[in-house]
Amino acid sequence: MPLPTNPLQMVHLGPRKKRPRQMGASMVCPPHDIKFQDLALYILEKKMGTTRRAFLMELARRKGFRVEDELSDSITHIVAENNSGSEVLEWLQGQNLKASSQLELLDVSWLIESMAAGRPVETTGKHQLVKRDYSASPNPELQKTPPLVIKKISQYACQRRTTLNNCNQIFTDAFEVLAENYEFRENEVFCLAFMRAASVLKSLPFTIISMKDTEGIPCLEDKVKCVIEEIIEDGESSEVKAVLNDERYQSFKLFTSVFGVGLKTSEKWFRMGYRTLNKIKLDKTLKFTPMQKAGFLYYEDLVSCVTRAEAEAVCMLVKEAVWAFLPEAFVTMTGGFRRGKKIGHDVDFLITSPGSTDEDEEQLLPKVINLWERKRVDSGKCSQQEGKTWKAIRVDLVMCPYERRAFALLGWTGSRQFERDLRRYATHERKMILDNHALYDKTKKIFLKAESEEEIFAHLGLDYIEPWERNA
């Protein structure tokens, strides 16, 4: 059975070892969708090197740019690094390609800014190696680009704005594989090291293309930098490659994809010699929890992605069921969808009602589940006659007292690393304790009230960060 591609987030460390660079088939990348058809880029290898050029080409293609391997008359932009305009023009003459007024000769800074913006940015004097009218200056020189001024980056995700526009996915994907592997091995220290590294790189407004770019960035330990350096030089990480081919990692990835299966169960099945789900299901000596039974029964549905349209449809079903028992209740979709994600693996809802009693809150979820259970049984009878016409989706329902709704909303919105750092910040920087229920000031020895997320940020002395900026 193929392994599901459900990215958690983990990593591996170790001293960097130089290895021969693999050329040929291993360098071939899958095709990417071209978003900007009017542009055709050619990245100059001169003073850049083969591997670095291949690295930038792959990054640009991931962002939707059309990057050509060979120079031709169709090229609209030539991108160079550490070359003056006259050097590029001299090189062009040797290629028998005449520079025209339509051809842009640009410094690599233009490409980096464009990839960060997710679109081609306007070319200005600081980007252009020569003026567009090449005949006007017979010997133009590179206009110096002022260094990019970057504000000091905080070690805490709650002080960084992290959108879904990840300029460093080639690195963060590697970190998350390694972090997941350490989670499977219950090595919390290394797991957190790579998760924090992935988190800070996701917040950067630029793409790392050299080790110099990592200077001043927090949470990048030596072993993390070894992985970055290897990817820059070789286009991939040997550690990540080894992890992806590791039988234990593959087995744990597969086992934990079953709803209700954690690390202890995965370890048990792996030690028993199981490597596929089919053999586990056929073993009559194994006992499964109700969640695991549901996980196997609806496996294909639960490992597939939930779209925003499906999440919105589920939201209507949840509201309908909740309002049948608590008409004044507020139902809010939280989790990744509140942070702006278009797909997820489950749907989380926060339920609260201003006029509810403790008894109402205790009885609501059992009532909703019983209602759905009756509908499921009725649906099952119909599906036996008509065939399955529905999809199983994991839904998390959280009921909280109305006066604690702000804390619950903040806690259940995520991301996981954002929440971790928010609580770490509260403890270490403000001497407070924050959880999904309350905020306690240890100095004043009082609980601080909040009617909104903004008030919680204010109590902590933090600038408010919108939900879609918490994708840490």
C-alpha closest to that of 217 among 173, 179, 167: 167
Per-residue pLDDT, 291: 96
Q: Are residues 158 and 259 in the same domain?
A: no
Q: Are residues 274 and 325 in the same domain?
A: no
CATH of the domain at 379: 3.30.460.10
pLDDT tens-place string over residues 280-319 = 999 999 999 999 999 999 999 999 999 999 999 999 999 9
pLDDT at 234 over 80: yes
pLDDT at 142 over 70: no
Residue 95 · residue 71 · CB < 8 Å: yes
Which is more confidently placed, 13 or 66?
A: 66
Per-residue pLDDT, 50: 82
Per-residue pLDDT, 21: 39
- What is the mean pLDDT of the segment spanning 242-254? 98
Verify whether residue 396 is a known catalytic residue.
Answer: yes
Instruction: Please give the single-letter amino acid code of residue 183.
Output: E
Per-residue pLDDT, 104: 87
Q: Are residues 376 and 419 in the same domain?
A: no
Percent of the chain whose predicted confidence (pLDDT) is above 70: 86
> How many Cβ atoms sit within 10 Å of the Cβ of residue 317?
14
pLDDT tens-place string over residues 173-211 = 999 999 999 999 999 999 999 999 999 999 998 889 889
pLDDT tens-place string over residues 57-108 = 988 998 899 999 988 888 899 999 888 887 888 788 777 665 555 788 899 9
pLDDT at 256 over 60: yes
- Which of 381, 399, 417 terminates a domain? The answer is 399
Q: Are residues 240 and 251 in the same domain?
A: no
Q: CA distances (Å), 85 to each of 43, 96, 107, 125, 296, in order?
A: 14, 17, 9, 12, 62
C-alpha closest to that of 304 among 376, 391, 390, 397: 391
**Rg (Cα) of the chain, in Å, rounded?**
27
Which is more confidently placed, 239 or 389?
A: 239
Q: Are residues 241 and 254 in the same domain?
A: no
Q: Are residues 127 and 170 in the same domain?
A: yes
- What is the mean pLDDT of the segment spanning 392-396? 95
Per-residue pLDDT, 13: 35
Write out the two tokens for 455. Answer: 């008030």
Q: How many domains does the chain have?
A: 4
- What is the mean pLDDT of the segment spanning 238-265? 98
C-alpha closest to that of 256 among 264, 266, 248: 266
Which is more confidently placed, 205 or 172?
A: 172
Q: Are residues 430 and 321 in the same domain?
A: no
Per-residue pLDDT, 272: 97
C-alpha closest to that of 398 among 422, 414, 376, 374: 414
Residue 351 · residue 400 · CB < 8 Å: yes
pLDDT at 149 over 60: no
Average pLDDT, the chain: 86
Per-residue pLDDT, 24: 36
pLDDT tens-place string over residues 15-63 = 344 443 333 333 344 567 888 888 999 999 888 888 888 889 988 998 8
Percent of the chain whose predicted confidence (pLDDT) is above 90: 66
pLDDT tens-place string over residues 329-355 = 999 999 999 999 999 999 999 999 998
- Range in 135-149, 244-258, 304-318, 452-466 with the lowest mean pLDDT: 135-149
Per-residue pLDDT, 88: 84
Q: Are residues 84 and 224 in the same domain?
A: yes
- Which of 236, 269, 298 terminates a domain? The answer is 298
- Which of 348, 373, 399 terminates a domain? The answer is 399
Q: Are residues 283 and 310 in the same domain?
A: no
CATH of the domain at 443: 3.30.210.10
pLDDT at 151 over 90: no
Q: Are residues 219 and 326 in the same domain?
A: no
Indicate the pTM of the whole model: 0.71
Per-residue pLDDT, 93: 72
Per-residue confidence band for 140, with pLDDT thresholds at 50, 70 and 90? very low
Per-residue pLDDT, 29: 43
Q: What angle do CA 44, 108, 209 make, to 5 degrees?
A: 100
Q: Are residues 214 and 96 in the same domain?
A: yes
**Dist. CA 443–CA 216, nearest whole Å:** 33
Give the domain extent around 220. 1-245
Per-residue pLDDT, 208: 92
Per-residue pLDDT, 2: 37
Instruction: Please give the single-letter amino acid code of residue 185.
Output: R
Q: Are residues 68 and 157 in the same domain?
A: yes
The single residue of 173, 346, 360, 441 carrying the catalytic annotation is 346
Instruction: Please give the single-letter amino acid code of residue 450.
Output: A
Per-residue confidence band for 116, with pLDDT thresholds at 50, 70 and 90? confident
